[in-house]
A and B are shown apart, each in its own frame.
Chain A
Amino acid sequence: MKALVVLAAGLGVPGVLPALLVARRWAPAVFLAPLIGAGLAALAAVTELGLGGSLPVNYAVVAVIANLAVIAWWRMARYSVRSWAGPSWGWPVATVAFVLACLAIPLTALRSPMIGWDANTMWLTKALMAYGGHHELLAGLQNPAYQYSNPDYPPLLPATGALAFSLFGLGDLHLFVDVTALLNACALGVLGAGVAAAGSTGRLPARVAAVISAGAICLVGFALSGWWGVVGYADLLWAAAAAAAVIWGLVLPKGTQALGIAWTCAAVASLTKNEGLTTALVIFALIALRYQLVTLPGRSLRSWAERAALAGAPALPGLAWAGLVRVLGIHDNFFLATTTESTATRVQATIAGMATHLAVAPVALAVLLAGSWLLRRDREHALLANPVWLWLSCLGSLTIIFATYVFGGDEIHWWLTNSVDRTTIFAQLLLYSDLAIWLVVAADTASARAGRQCVTEVPADLVESVAGRHRRLPAQRVSGPSGA
């Protein structure tokens, strides 16, 4: 437990300033800071593999550069501490406290020293390689004897594990599992903070429902991943980070805060696992479309190019790793083997396998249809985006995973048995998040009294988000009965 706290601080401290700059409010920043620390560790591993050096030194360099850049940005933009604090302290404190209390429940399972098979053979092995320095990492990833461990997988977890070993030594290998569970909890915390933010413009019952839903979605994340979330697997981390990116970037009102958190979370997903990278690319594209980063007609070719670069920049770390491992001739196992099964057999097995783990989809679809029909205006009134963005990202990710199973080389039934429960966590978590968002909207509607007006404080970020649509928005929103 003590090691877990020290690790959270070790990862969180270098990420505090970047997290505050990105989130500009401390509720999501509390959970975002360790994720950013892990992302910096992943960048350090990219430089370790590509340029050389040891992970702790590279991490220190990357962390110092990132923090100096944040300070420089802060001074240039003349941000004040007040603008980071957010509109009030009460709800953020309640949100963080409740989410932390909920996350503590699954983390108590760490008292049982469980280590999963993949955690050992894939992630811990690579963490040891990264701990060993450039030569060990490069030689290990290129060694055909380690081909079974999918050496091309992105470096976030191994790098974070290697940092933990640098702090505490190799005496306790279970430390790697603790780090993974901690990052899983942080990613779910950012997702929970996003669900809580969906109620920030609502009435008191909606805000209470939002905070409770925020805690619930964290528990749901661990429930969906089963024990994989606490035995060192990477699947919950990329799924939760990607789901957080969808909620902040494609559901919550547009704003620089929401955009920054969404990009950061998607970048974390892209640096965690290959399916995280492909899903993150889908999310980046959808965010660029929603924010009209590329499609909005530019005044000049230069402004168009700048916006295109801005939209693509957060994808660079994940793509840099993918490009680097390809250049070094490092591949995973999935497409090396040649399948003997027909495409029809693989399609059939994949549909059946994935459907088993998407039991929540009919409920989510029913709530989506009912909500879109009955509560569409209430959702718009809460400044939340059309749910089609969330469903598109869900379907986009599922399509890519489906295609991977169909065109991959491993025996399909064995492959599905061993992985489909994990590859569908993102889709399931997103559907549950959609349910939580509808719950918040419905709570706001159900608590409305005919003829009674309710005054709610609108966070500065939301003002910014709708400023483009309405030339002037007062600092307070006056809402009548639901749907008004």
Chain B
Amino acid sequence: MGERLRGMGKRADAAWIAAAAVVALGLSVHHEVQLTAAALTPGQITSQTAAYRQEECLYRAIRSQVPKDAAVYITSPPAAPPTERLSELSTLWAELKANRAAARWTLTLVSARGHCDGEALEVHRI
């Protein structure tokens, strides 16, 4: 009898521990399902597709407006996005320079209607 009661008590302890783990894991799993659903709303897909198309547009603009292996310096107008995007998109095409004096071209990302979804590449020869 005592053995049986001890066994029942032990199973109850195990059930509490299992319940705590199930709740913690279950809440996190639920969070993941919500995250995925949020990523797949029509609005989210549309905006992300537009952002990706903009990247592709700028990538092609660099390759069409800047000569291959050109020494370029990337500038950023005040209140504009930082220069990293153009640096990344210039990789394998242009040779990035850390200072303007060593470059032959400057690249700048500017706001412009109708180009790459509201942004355009501005290229100047130094």
Q: Are B87 and A145 neighbours in the complex by a CB distance under 8 Å? A: yes
* A128 adjacent to chain B (CB < 8 Å): yes
Alpha-carbon distance between A220 and B35 when the two chains are bound, in angstroms: 11
The smallest C-beta distance from A427 to any residue of chain B, in angstroms, reads 14
Give complex CA distance A113, B54 in Å. Answer: 12
- Encode B35-60 as 1/0 by CB contact (under 8 A) with A: 11001100011001101100110010
Residues of chain A contacted by B10 (CB below 8 angstroms) = 374, 445, 448, 482-483
Contact: A219 with B39, CB < 8 Å?
no
| Among A124, A129, A223, residue most surrounded by chain B Cβ atoms (within 10 Å) | A223
Interface string of B47-91 (1 = CB under 8 A from A): 011011001100100000000000000100000000011011001
0/1 interface trace, chain B 1-19, chain A, CB 8 Å (1 if under):
0011001101101111110
Which DSSP category, helix, strand, loop or mixed, fits chain B's interface? helix
Asked if B29 and A223 make an inter-chain contact with CB atoms under 8 angstroms apart, the answer reads yes
Query: Does chain B have a CB within 8 A of A140?
Result: yes
Q: In the bound complex, do residue B21 and residue A439 qualify as a contact, i.e. CB atoms below 8 Å apart? A: yes
The winner among B4, B36, B40 for most chain A CB atoms within 10 A is: B36
A window 376-420: CB within 8 A of B: 378
| B31 at the binding interface (Cβ < 8 Å) | yes
| CB neighbours of A378 from chain B (8 A) | 14
- CB-based contact A148/B39 at 8 Å: no
Q: Closest chain B residue to A107 by CB distance?
A: B36
A residues in contact with B52, CB < 8 Å: 113, 115, 174
How far does the Cβ of B43 sit from chain A's closest Cβ, in whole Å?
10
User: Which of B7, B14, B36 is within 8 Å of A106, CB to CB?
Assistant: B36
Given A111-B45, A113-B52, A370-B13 in contact, is the A128-B84 Cβ separation under 8 Å? no
Nearest CB in chain B to that of A433: its residue: B25
Interface status of A169 (Cβ within 8 A of chain B): no
Complex Cα gap A125–B86 (Å): 11
From A109, A364, A442, B40 is in contact (CB under 8 Å) with A109
Q: Judge if B109 is at the interface, Cβ distance under 8 Å.
A: no
Asked if B35 and A222 sit within 8 Å, CB to CB, the answer is: yes
| Contact of B98 with A by CB under 8 A | yes
Q: Does B49 lie within 8 Å of A220, measured CB to CB?
A: no
Q: Are B25 and A213 in contact (CB under 8 A)?
A: yes
- Measured in the bound complex, the distance between the Cα atoms of B82 and A148 in whole Å is 11
Chain A residues with Cβ under 8 A from B32's Cβ? 105-106, 219-220, 222-223
Known contacts A223-B28, A432-B28, A443 near B91 by CB under 8 Å: no
Distance in Å from the Cβ of A233 to the closest Cβ of chain B?
A: 14
Q: What 0/1 pattern do residues 100 to 128 of A give for CB contact below 8 A with B?
A: 00000110110111110100110011001
Chain B: interface size category: 35 or more
Known contacts A174-B52, A439-B25: does B40 contact A481 (CB below 8 Å)?
no
Q: Are B55 and A173 closer than 8 Å at their CB atoms?
A: yes
CB of B40 within 8 A of CB of A121, answer no
Chain B positions within 8 Å of A131 at CB level: 92
Distance A432 CA – B33 CA, assembled complex (angstroms)? 17
Beta-carbon nearest neighbor of B73 in chain A: A145
Which residues of A lie under 8 Å from residue B92 when comparing CB positions? Answer: 128-129, 131-132, 136, 170
Residues of A within 8 A of B18 (CB): 209, 438-439, 442-443, 446
Does B24 sit at the interface, judged by CB under 8 A? yes
A436 in contact with B21 (CB, 8 Å): yes
Q: Smallest CB-CB separation from A444: which chain B residue? A: B14
Q: Are B14 and A445 neighbours in the complex by a CB distance under 8 Å?
A: yes
Q: Is B101 part of the binding interface, using a Cβ–Cβ cutoff of 8 Å?
A: no
Mark interface residues in A337-366 (1 if CB within 8 Å of B CB, else 0).
000000000000000000000001001101
Closest 5 CB pairs of A and B: A223-B32, A450-B7, A439-B21, A445-B14, A145-B96
14 contacts between A and B (CB under 8 A): A105-B33, A117-B84, A125-B88, A132-B91, A143-B96, A145-B96, A223-B31, A375-B14, A375-B17, A442-B15, A442-B18, A448-B7, A481-B7, A483-B10
Since A136-B92, A374-B13 are in contact, a sample of 20 more A-B pairs with Cβ atoms closer than 8 Å, ordered by chain A residue number, is: A106-B32, A109-B40, A121-B84, A121-B87, A121-B88, A124-B88, A128-B88, A128-B91, A145-B74, A145-B87, A146-B96, A170-B92, A219-B29, A227-B39, A367-B20, A438-B21, A439-B22, A448-B10, A481-B7, A482-B7
